[in-house]
Amino acid sequence: MYDGDVLMDMRADEKNRAKELIEDFMIAANSATVAYLESRRFPSLRRVLRSPERWGRIVQLAADLGERLPIEPNAVELEKFLEKQSRVRPDRFPDISLSVVKLLGSGEYVAELSDAGVTEHFGLAIRDYTHSTAPNRRFPDLITQRLLKAAVAGRGVPYESDDLVVLARHCTEQEDDATKVERHVRKSAQALLLADRIGERFDGIVTGASEKGTWARIFRPAAEGKVMHGFEDLDVGDHVRVKLIGTDVERGFIDFVRVRG
């Protein structure tokens, strides 16, 4: 939120029924595109999200809420769990869904060249998925549109198999680079917003915990920073109270320490 050119606040994006409806249509369109290419025996550039390595932590988060998930990763059961939480715990659901998203990890592009199949998109609980609806802003969608156009016209595949494999890897790498830039800009804005609030305490939720460090996201304003001290027993999804001890706008750094009690 801005007051003229001055950044005044940052809030998490809120979903509504209109956005959800658009997302459903996009998922349906992307799945239909894959089905059509398969029917013409064309390869495709799939968007996949592999089975989460930290499924055990997701199971534990569900157990803490009195729910039970299978020991082995199961996308359908996870979707049922999230749907239920959105109904029975609407106030807490943003925190729950954020924790699950962080634990699922990021997606990637994979060239599907045969009928053998590739890994499903675990987050959407569907097997056949691509990106095809935004060729004006995303190169993988443009590749898919070229494949689709050739299939409809009855022409041959416009890409060699090896080229599709290379392009899939390239698109994943470029997306990761773009995400890093977007994250840096966003964190610099958050650091700017918090620059004059050193020493204040905030409620938040742990969004990352690994050998690289532990990160927490505070709620108001919506900002994420590194927990510098007191993080030893924290894991993704834990609620935590932190004190802001430093910011660096240019580097996009926000530093917290855990406040106990």
pLDDT number for residue 96 = 87
pLDDT number for residue 8 = 63
Nearest to 78 by CA among 87, 66, 69: 69
Helix 139-153 / helix 161-194 crossing angle, nearest 10 deg: 150
- Total-model pTM: 0.80
**Chosen CATH of 195-258 out of 1.10.3720.10, 3.40.50.720, 2.60.120.10, 2.40.50.140:** 2.40.50.140
The rounded distance, in Å, linking the Cα atoms of 105 and 210 is 13
Domain positions in the chain are 17-49+106-190, 195-258
pLDDT number for residue 16 = 82
- In sequence order, which residues have a C-beta less than 8 Å from that of residue 247 and are 6 or more positions away? 191, 192, 194, 195, 198, 253, 254, 255
pLDDT in tens, the chain (261 residues): 666 666 666 666 677 889 889 999 999 999 999 999 999 999 999 999 988 889 999 999 999 999 999 999 999 999 999 999 988 888 788 888 888 988 998 899 999 987 556 667 888 878 889 999 998 889 999 999 999 999 999 999 999 999 999 999 999 999 999 999 999 999 999 999 999 999 999 999 999 888 889 999 998 888 999 999 999 999 999 999 999 999 999 999 999 999 986
**Quick check: 221 and 194 in contact, CB under 8 A?**
yes
The rounded distance, in Å, linking the Cα atoms of 137 and 239 is 37
**Phi, psi (degrees; rounded to nearest 5) at 87:** -85, -45
pLDDT number for residue 116 = 58
